[in-house]
Amino acid sequence: SSSEQNISINTSLIEGENEVEIHSVDRANNRTEVTRSVQLILNKPPAISINLESGLRLTERLFSLSGEVSDEDGDQVTTTVFVNGEEVFSTQEDMISKLLSFEQGANEVRIDSIDERGARTEEVFSNIQVDAIRPTLTVSGTGNIRTKNPSFPIEANASDENGVSISLYHNGALLE
């Protein structure tokens, strides 16, 4: 009479080459072996290298974003850039070069890179501060002034929403 046995086992693989052997032995000690080679390729997420950092302070609303997205596994990567939650562009290029427009005040940039097998890297750059508004400065008098008095009174007032200081120079030298 014939006999049959089935087996189903999940085995844990290590990264790289794995050899799996299946042996069958009957009552007469006859053997059959089958070997399978299984290569485990772990999908590493893309790497983002960009010229941006959290807490960056800018005096202009425009910023030239540049950098590189790479995938160690050689997969095609799609990178999407968001500014303050809105998608501003998406690319499958390795090199990134784009002019971003920020709002006055605090901004956030999120860069999301995903490869064709689903491995994802997300980087968030927060508290990018833009202060593109120059302080107001009011100075007493107008234009070129002529005087016969060696002591000249000058008054100035400055204001700005992010704090301000006033310095006075006379013939290039800072007055204390």
Tell whether the model's pLDDT for residue 15 goes beyond 90: no
Q: How many CB atoms lie within 10 A of CB 84?
A: 13
- Asked whether residue 57 carries a pLDDT value surpassing 90, the answer given is yes
Specify the pTM: 0.66
pLDDT in tens, 122-160: 999 999 999 988 888 988 877 788 888 888 788 888 988
Which residue type sits at 83?
V
Query: Tens digits of per-residue pLDDT, 115-132?
Result: 998 899 999 999 999 998
Task: Name which of 64, 16, 156 is nearest 166 in CA terms.
Answer: 156
